Structure formats: C-alpha cells, structure tokens
Structure 1
Amino acid sequence: MKTIAVLIAMFLGALMNAQTEKSGNITASVSNISNADGEVLFAMYTEDTFMKRQPEFVAKSDIVNGKATAVFENVPEGVYAIVVLHDKNKNGKMDFGPGGMPQENYGTSNNSMIYGPPNWGDSKFDFDGSSMEMDIRF
C-alpha cells in the first residue's frame, strides 16, 4: 500500500510540475538586410551552449523585401541569446576574409554593436514563456 501511495504522490508531483512550466513562441526578425542574396540563419542559445555547441533552436529564412523572419516555437521560459547571420552564399557558416574579418553580416539579440564575436552578456534576454517579438539589426 505504501508503494502505491508513493507512486501516486510522484505522479501528482510530476503532473503539477509539468503544468507550471510555461512555453511560448519567439519571433525574431531582421529588417535591415542590404540585398536578397542567400538566406538568413537564426540560432538561439542558452548560456551553456552559447557559441560553443549546437544551439537549442535553429531556423532559416529567405529574404523578402529586405526582411527575414523566424519563429521559434514551444520555447520554455528561460534566458536565451539569438545570433543571426546573413549567409549570402548558403554554405551554412560565416565566411571570413584573409585578415580574419567577417565577410557576411551578423547580429545578436539586444542589438549589441561590438567589434569581435558576439558575447553572452550583451546578447542575453529573459523569456517568460509567453510570446515575444524582437527585431535584430545587422
């Protein structure tokens, strides 16, 4: 009988925990794209994966009238950062010139304009699990 009571308590606890986790959609747009070559790649990271491992969410978008949009669906509440790349030649990565300078435009959430690679502190944002829209600039 004790075992059944413990199993029921565990089930109810798991059920209550599942109901409290909120998830929603994040719509990210880039509206200052200089040309329609290629596509725009979107990657959304947590602090643990930022620029080190595969992002939690990825998307890509065609460029229509100088704008690209991606929707990340069913995103749990948490802290994230989005990195966006104008992949002009559709090779799936950023291209660099001989001096190491990027040859393709990029941007991050919070529109931090820094020289060098994106960093977590300037790019992170809190997501409350409802819905969010953001415009990212190159």
Structure 2
Amino acid sequence: MNSFLLYICLVFAFITPTNPKLTLTVNNIKPIQGHIVIAVFNTETNFLKEEGRIKKYTMPVTKNTQELVITDLPYGEFAISIYHDENSDGEFNRNYLGIPKEPYGFSNNVKPRFSAPKYKDCKFLFNENKTLTINMIN
C-alpha cells in the first residue's frame, strides 16, 4: 500500500499545470522593418507606463501580419498595448506635441481620439485559450 501511495505522489510531482495559450495576431504592419513591442498590463494603475507592465515581448518584423503565441500568462484580466519600433531604437517615438510617430495598437482595437486609452476600454478576460487580433494604427 505504501508503494502505491509513493507511486501516486511521484506521478503528480512530475505533472506541471500548463498555462493557457494567448495567440496574438498583429495586422497592418508597415513598413517591413524594425520590431513589434508588446506590453501586457493587469491593472489600471500605471497603465501604459513602463512600471505598470507585467510582461514585455519583442518580435522582429518580417511580414505585414505576424503572430505571437504567449504561454507564460496565467488566467486573469489583462490589457495589451503594442507599438512598431520602426527604427529599432527601443523607444516609442513621438513628435514635439506628443503625437505618435510610429504605428501602435491596443487590445479590443481601441482607437484613441485625443488622449491615451483607458485600461477599462482595453481590458479582456483571459479565462481560456484565446486569440486576439490587433490592427496597427498608422
């Protein structure tokens, strides 16, 4: 009996829970150069600020539509912002008025009008494998 219990414990020790899969499709990428930078947030506090993000992903641009599969996020509520770092300088470039000079996008395809979007508009529930599509705003 003790051997059986030890066997069961060993089997469960080697089974690790897998995180859900978030597939992110980014459309309307142009020009074909630089990198796409993806930031993930899970709270309204410091939304769109570097200190507020919980994850950051970068992928080189190779075509107009690209896909990233994220497997290191737990279930929860998140919002995503992306930008196309066309010149690969590691910054989201803006003009002297603060208007973006590089393409960008948000989860739920929020299109801000006169200011940055709010977390509540970009948030989504990640409670199962999910596919999100974000269209770049050029």
The two structures have a TM-score, normalised by structure 1, of 0.76
Q: Does 1:68 align with 2:28?
A: no
RMSD between superposed Cα atoms in Å = 2.2
Report the equivalent of 1:123: 122
* Range that drifts further, 78-87 or 113-122: 113-122
Q: Percent identity?
A: 26
The gaps in structure 2 that reach 5 residues or longer are 1-15
The equivalent residue for 1:32 is 28
Picking from 31, 43, 48, the partner of 1:51 is: 48
C-alpha distance after superposition, 1:82-114 (max 9, x if no partner): 101000111222111122211001100000111
The answer on whether the counterparts of 1:40 and 1:68 sit within 8 Å (CA) in structure 2 is no
Could you list the structure 1 runs, at least 4 aligned residues long, displaced by more than 3 angstroms after superposition: none
1:1-138 mapped onto 2 (5 Å cutoff): 23-47=19-43, 48-52=45-49, 53-115=51-113, 116-128=115-127, 130-138=128-136
Alignment: residue pair count: 119
Cα shift at 1:51: 2.0
SS in structure 2 at match of 1:121: helix
Query: Which amino acid in 1 is paired with 2:33?
Result: D
Measure the CA separation in 2 of the matches of 1:25 and 1:110: 18
